[in-house]
Structure 1
Amino acid sequence: MTGQTTSRRQAVSQLLDVLSTGGGIRVVTGEPGCGRTAFLEHAARSFRAGPVRHLRADAASSARPLSGLHTVLRALGGGARALGDGTAGEVLADALRAAAGGSPLLVCVDDAHLWDAASRAALAHAAARVHAAGVRAGLLLTVPGHRPVDREWAALPLLRLGPLTPAEAARLVDDATDGAVDPGVREELVTEAEGNPALLLALLHRLSPAQLGGRRELPRPLADGEVLTAVAGGCLTGVPPDRAGLLLTAAAAARATGEPDADADLVLRAAGRAEEAGAAGPLPEVLVRAGGRIRFRSALLARAVYAGAPPDRRRAAHRALAESLAGPGGVPALLHRSWSVTGRARDLADGLAAAATDPAAGLPPGLRRRALTRAAELTPDDAERAHRYTAAAEQALLTGHPPEALRLLDAARSETAPAAVRGGAELLRGAVLLADGPVDDARESFLLAAALLATGRREAADTAVLGAADAAWAAGDPAACLQVLTPTGTTTAALGAGPAGTAVALAPTGDGVGAAAVEGGAGSGRATGAVTSPAGRSALLRDHRDGMRAVLLGRFDLAAAPLRRVVERGLHGNEPEPLLRSAAAALMLGEVTAARRAGARALAAARTLGRAALEPRALEYLAYAELRAGRHQLARTHAEEGLRTASRTGQRNTAAHHHAVLALAASIEGEKEVVAEHVAAALHTTRRHGLAQAAMLAQWAAARADLGAGRPREAADRLGPLVRPGARRGHFAVWMLAVPCFVEATALAGRPEHAPTVVEDFALWAACGADPQAPAQLLRCRALLATGDAADDLYLRALDRHEETAGDFERARTELLYGKWLRRRRRLREARARLGEALMGFERCGAHLWAQQAAAELRAGGAAPAESGGGELSRLTPQQLRIARRVAEGATNREVALSLSVSTRTVDYHLRNVFATLGVRSRVELVRLVGQAEKTGARL
């Protein structure tokens, strides 16, 4: 198999580093097709420290005692040595010690489980001996993961190869096809393969060039029994025929719940082995029983067993399971009954749909989706089938499966369905695309939904209107946003437009409206939020619409009352959707505390109710609120978690916003590589999906990183088109946030003449009162552009205004600029005081490069900056400190990358710099240094 992934290469590098320095053994395992052989081959190619012996076990010779041991001894150059007086393990240990000599040795054995038991025991004993003796000889052994690990190796360190991440799987597809696969097709392949590289490659080989290019329909199911059996079927050889039924029943039982395991007693009863129910009798080795549950050791093997069975045997297994369940009317029993029949079945479909939508049942969204999908498949009536497919798509979106939701919505299309049903489907499609698709397409879906729902479902139509406005907002189209929000027959002139350029900054893209569309409008018809009456819900939607329109017009006097009602209504309940609306409205008002409270409660509610799709949106609002409050480190924490959940739930648009927030936070901390990585990731999605707001935030982060690194000219060039009037000006709700950076960059670059116009625009924004930082920033901007001694008073007034807001970074920037101004006028004592305050402020908030600027200014003024403490570790940047701490805790580079939402390449880069800065040569030395710092109370 080809196509090792980046993270696995990193895992090889770390593993070989450990084995080459201290010796030892690792047993590498994983499910069929996970790439054990490729992993071992890459390890053998990558080892440069000494000789490598790469062997493959031979099943044919396993019957001969110690055949494996003799194979290793020959490979080590000792021929078929006699064992003499020593045990097999001792002989092999001596051979390893001799072969290693003065340099590290690596021995790789693929499929080591095929060797005889005596050879396996000798390998384990020898590895323990050479490790204890300090011999630098390492052993890498691969064994399959669909069976128990042999007892000889049960106590040895195990390295289980997990599934590829979606990003890794996508790269594998591109590598195998030279990027010729349509993005939508690639996404389906990645989802279907579930991280298994062999299955992914088998699916690629199954499809024609036209199918790979998206020009012809894909086969259904994508991974059929033939493909799955080809990948994993060989692992079932040797299973007794009388146990094959048990395997199929176990696979069928898990299919009903979507869980990896099933009730053991139920499976055994249905398989006709009631005498084993409750007993701890032996099972086929591919199954494991624990805690009353039974499961396959490999999820791929369970899929292969089920898909490879004849249809009549699958139906028989489901029938037996349905009859064995105690509650014949429960969803699992109904699902099993549904899979035991062929064709349409109205009564069974109605029963499934009723059970799935019963509020008292408390079903998880995944099970509800499965039941509604199957109900739709069994429904003979076109309109009712479309309605049920749409309801199933709702649950797919809530559980974080946008591609599945879109497939279900495609199945829901029906020209004969009533307008209300088609409108509900379009409303949901708009919500899916708003989270993970081109936002212009989302807007059109919302507008079509509003038209279809206008006569019969007023509340859902209002929700669709807000969704269309959200999409226009995300695209950076204020005219389209106003057009959508303005009631028919009303003109914006009649509403009294305020000054241009005063739209709210860092308000969300309206994902909360899309979420509410899922819960309240598309298919379920359930009430949303604490306001449960139709009149209350309509009033909430109307207030949100009116407040949003007034904000776009710059009429904060008209926006305050309706938006405040949205905030209060959401906070009076514990439903996540109204709470998300509340957070959005609070951000528009500039009420950061209320936004943080609503966002935190929405996050808790989404987690409690199992609505995974809402979590990254709540975290996005929290991150924005913390940025507005000047707490970038808390924003970073929320955005790191939000990025993980957005990636896990397939919300690329939301992920792009989290990347932008992380870039902004890193630009404060001076992490050039991290800023560049998150900016690139954000722009990759924003350009494809038309996300103007996230793109503007990312570009601002890149410019602020330039400014922090002492490159004002580059920062001014980057920001100029985005903040100055013209067609290229950035997103209408964000550009004014970047004005202070632009003014500073132009002043430091010697181009102050470019700034006065935007400063006057920024003054209009600061006067709105929606941004607590803006008044002080405005005074700082005026000070930068002032001539003579007028700047003195402006800087002092700016510092006074900073006292009214939280956040060390903005105040420290003003102190730094004021200190520079004072030093250049030879007012050195005052300059040192201001620069010292700036240095401490930057250190408090982890703004490393900015702190270096303040320290350099202090030295230029004849003062040495005080040591901040922390010894050697104080020389690290904030990101380097985070990485050093996690490495010291025992995390691998991949685990560090996942926890910080960066790539392993970035972690490698920073770790090399950490080693160079601290003068350490190994992770062991780093752990020791960090431990000493913790004991002495140094900052970490």
Structure 2
Amino acid sequence: MTGLTTPRSASHRYRAGSQRRAIAELLDRLGTEGGVRLVTGDPGCGRSALLAHAARSFRAGPVWHVRADPAGSARPRDGLHTLLRAAGRPTSPPGGTAGEALLAALRKAAGGVPHLLCVDDAHLWDPASRAALGEAAARVHAAPGGTGMLLAVPGHLPTVPELAGLPALHLAPLAPADAAALLDDATDGTADPGVRTRLVTEADGNPALLLALAHRLSPAQLRGHRELPGPAADADVLTSVVGGHLTGLTPDHTDLLLTAAAALRATGEPDADADLVRRAVRGLHPRPARTASPFLAGAEGRLRFRSPLLGRAVYATAPSERRRAAHRALARTLPTGLPALLHRSWAVTGPAPRLAAELAAAATDPVAAPPPGLRRTAHTRAAELAPDDAERARQYTAAAEQALLAGDSPAALRLLDAARSRPVPTPVRGRTELLRGRVLLADGPVDDARESFLLAAGLLTGASPEGRGPDEAAVAAGLGAADAAWAAGDSAACLRALTHDGPPHPDAAGPAGAGIPAPRSAPTLLHDHRDGMRAVLLARFDLAARPLRRVVERGQDAADPEQLMRAAAAALMLGEVTAARRAGSRALAAARTAGYSGCEARALEYLAYADLRAGRHQLARTHAEEGLRAARRAGQRNTAAHHHAVLALAASIEGDPVADHVTAALTTARRHGLAQAATLAQWAAARADLGAGRP
């Protein structure tokens, strides 16, 4: 049984505002002036749905909606004759070119009123018919004369030469919010928020794939009551979307495509080294393809799939032994390094402790410094190859941290669940709870985040995981609990978290586990931040200034975005707005340089608040708008609520409407207990009322 109750095609109304407006304007213009557009996009992007919508909604005159027949591609002029018959002319009139004859037949059949021709899969027609259609379309483009043409062709293939040069309308992938709206419509809003986020992420903006993923789930799975299948987009689902696009390939071309797809999997980049792929194919197939595949495009020695969805389908549908062979060929071709190790790991089928250790070491190599997405892949694969539960949990936790840095909170939670599903050492469990608290603080009930942080503080007291100083991880957990309590507006809980750094846990290692305070080491940035915040809450501002100023001075010269954001927070507490803006700007730059997209929205939050405090309201709006987009990309609803609050405050100062931002901030704030964001949003609404003379 499927949970998909009201499936609908992905019409233009689900697209982002700019493309939706462009489509609406195009359809309006076709009904008055005419014109031509070549509609392109990936398989499943909605080309056919758009043409069907245009044909249904055209009211100015007659409409001819024709789908090309692949069987007719071998018959000369089959497509042209189909169009002429649709226009009431069974044969071409004498005189003139075929394109002129086609256009004349359409206009005569329309009787002098605007008319529309929609041709789906125009690339499948025979060359003579395509040439006639292309000539007619070129004439319409030059002088519309009331004739409208929409010609749909796939975006994953080169444009056929007969239609090249025509103005194109490329149907881009759906934005996450638009994809979520489509899914809610298709499931009558029954999808659990976590399930919805995962399906939207898996579909990557492809509406047909999104509906296929939802169709696969039972009602219980859609509602989050049962575990989802893994992987969500398997070979069957991808085949249902890609359809026959991959049929009829020769073995040598299949190996070329599979090797390209395997190469991309080890880099996380949109393209691969063309020479690497060709050398690996030569080791895989005795007679490698002599011609390039139409599914691949290349420039400057790089290869990419014209449609990433096709690349996913090629890899998922290949037999497992062929996938392993492709990875072995790539591993032999590559020099030593993380990509080569990943290819080796995907070529094995069982536990491989030595290879797992090599992957983990390469993922943490400070010299190579791979991006977070690649580090997550390496740690995940190391966990799958690890020899015991403890090492598996360590690697899943490390992978979750990289997912969080890369801005993929749902993936981070899934990896943390995998780490928690087995008995693990206490420090590892503490690290897992610390990361869970960080995820929930950005996107979840902040009370739940605080409890995860407090549990982590107890587990980590006296421990020194990941090479940190004594109790530093516990201090970080205590600060996280304080941040969560601060966001919830609970000053008493905030002070408790800062005073105790979390309750000692009975399993905690070291003297603190027995209730004896651990020896105090030299103050670090974390210790200073804790001591300064505690003094502020106790109204001992004379004691707060010195440690907070040390946080600012040491943090603003750091390269770590987290330390820079702590410096910005401390500067805001001290009222040093210039220092806060400088630390926020550096945090944003550091996050972008390191590829930590998960930190961008938070860095922009500190920067926007500092701008507000400095009276730079326009700049605050610019940074908050950018932060809102970053928070949505990363699935950080709490951070998005703070940005909405900033935007509401800035708008209230300048006399602009605030209602939308206030409503958005309060919606999340009330669901997740964000008293601070709610207060700021209500303050903005009140100021707007006062400014409008509504005391």
**Structure 1 length normalisation: TM-score?**
0.68
Equivalence map 1:333-732=2 (5 Å): 333-413=340-420, 416-457=423-464, 458-487=471-500, 538-672=523-657, 675-710=658-693, 712=694
| Per-residue deviation, 1:704 | 2.9
- Choose which of 266, 274, 291 in structure 2 pairs with 1:264: 274
Change in Cα spacing, 1:346 to 1:686, as seen in structure 2 (3 Å) is: same
> Corresponding residue for 2:307?
298
| Per-residue deviation, 1:236 | 0.8
Bigger drift between 425-434 and 689-698 goes to 689-698
Equivalence map 1:143-222=2 (5 Å): 143-222=153-232
Change in Cα spacing, 1:148 to 1:565, as seen in structure 2 (3 Å) is: same
* Residue type at the aligned position of 1:682: A
Q: Cα deviation per residue 1:155-175 (whole Å; 9 max; x = unaligned)?
A: 111222121111111111111
> Corresponding residue for 1:727?
none
Change in Cα spacing, 1:123 to 1:459, as seen in structure 2 (3 Å) is: same
* Residue type at the aligned position of 1:692: A
In structure 1, distance between residues paired with 2:365 and 2:448: 33
> Corresponding residue for 1:34?
45
Is 1:287 paired with 2:270? no
CA contact (8 A) 1:57 1:112 kept: yes
In structure 2, distance between residues paired with 1:580 and 1:171: 34
CA contact (8 A) 2:283 2:329 kept: no
CA contact (8 A) 2:455 2:502 kept: no
CA contact (8 A) 1:268 1:274 kept: no
In structure 2, distance between residues paired with 1:575 and 1:210: 42
* Residue type at the aligned position of 2:497: V
In structure 1, distance between residues paired with 2:536 and 2:663: 31
Which protein, 1 or 2, shows the higher relative CO under an 8 Å CA cutoff with sep ≥ 6?
2
Sequence identity, in percent?
71
In structure 2, distance between residues paired with 1:535 and 1:112: 73
CA contact (8 A) 1:268 1:276 kept: no
* Residue type at the aligned position of 2:597: A
Change in Cα spacing, 1:79 to 1:99, as seen in structure 2 (3 Å) is: closer
Whichever of the two has the greater Rg, that structure is 1
Change in Cα spacing, 1:472 to 1:49, as seen in structure 2 (3 Å) is: farther
SS in 1 for 2:367: helix
> Corresponding residue for 1:84?
94
| Per-residue deviation, 1:365 | 1.5
* Residue type at the aligned position of 1:462: V
SS in 2 for 1:223: coil
SS in 2 for 1:139: strand
* Residue type at the aligned position of 2:351: R
Bigger drift between 544-553 and 397-406 goes to 544-553
CA contact (8 A) 1:321 1:333 kept: yes
CA contact (8 A) 1:96 1:130 kept: no
| Per-residue deviation, 1:585 | 0.9
SS in 2 for 1:257: coil
Number of aligned residue pairs: 662
In structure 2, distance between residues paired with 1:584 and 1:292: 46
* Residue type at the aligned position of 1:292: G
Change in Cα spacing, 1:703 to 1:341, as seen in structure 2 (3 Å) is: same
* Residue type at the aligned position of 2:406: T
- Choose which of 124, 134, 152 in structure 2 pairs with 1:142: 152
Change in Cα spacing, 1:39 to 1:200, as seen in structure 2 (3 Å) is: same
In structure 2, distance between residues paired with 1:696 and 1:567: 27
Equivalence map 1:92-171=2 (5 Å): 92-98=102-108, 103-171=113-181
* Residue type at the aligned position of 1:409: L
| Per-residue deviation, 1:101 | 5.9
* Residue type at the aligned position of 1:208: S
Change in Cα spacing, 1:283 to 1:273, as seen in structure 2 (3 Å) is: farther
| Per-residue deviation, 1:139 | 0.8
| Per-residue deviation, 1:617 | 1.2
> Corresponding residue for 2:506?
none
* Residue type at the aligned position of 1:168: D
Is 1:23 paired with 2:34? yes
> Corresponding residue for 2:9?
2
Q: Cα deviation per residue 1:6-38 (whole Å; 9 max; x = unaligned)?
A: 536444202213434543211111111111111
CA contact (8 A) 2:279 2:333 kept: yes
**Unaligned 5+ residue runs, structure 2?**
1-7, 465-470, 504-519
* Residue type at the aligned position of 2:495: L
SS in 2 for 1:156: coil
In structure 1, distance between residues paired with 2:146 and 2:649: 45
Equivalence map 1:894-913=2 (5 Å): none
In structure 1, distance between residues paired with 2:61 and 2:621: 43
Change in Cα spacing, 1:256 to 1:38, as seen in structure 2 (3 Å) is: same
In structure 1, distance between residues paired with 2:489 and 2:228: 35
In structure 2, distance between residues paired with 1:73 and 1:680: 56
| Per-residue deviation, 1:300 | 1.1
In structure 2, distance between residues paired with 1:57 and 1:275: 36
In structure 1, distance between residues paired with 2:285 and 2:379: 35
In structure 2, distance between residues paired with 1:295 and 1:273: 20
> Corresponding residue for 1:44?
55
In structure 2, distance between residues paired with 1:177 and 1:142: 28
* Residue type at the aligned position of 1:62: S
Is 1:315 paired with 2:324? yes
In structure 1, distance between residues paired with 2:448 and 2:596: 24
In structure 2, distance between residues paired with 1:242 and 1:349: 32
In structure 2, distance between residues paired with 1:64 and 1:269: 40
| Per-residue deviation, 1:431 | 0.9
> Corresponding residue for 1:501?
none
In structure 1, distance between residues paired with 2:307 and 2:422: 43
In structure 2, distance between residues paired with 1:704 and 1:81: 73
Bigger drift between 370-379 and 696-705 goes to 696-705
In structure 2, distance between residues paired with 1:489 and 1:242: 61
> Corresponding residue for 1:242?
252
CA contact (8 A) 1:261 1:295 kept: yes
* Residue type at the aligned position of 1:343: G
Q: Cα deviation per residue 1:201-230 (whole Å; 9 max; x = unaligned)?
A: 111111111211211111111111111112
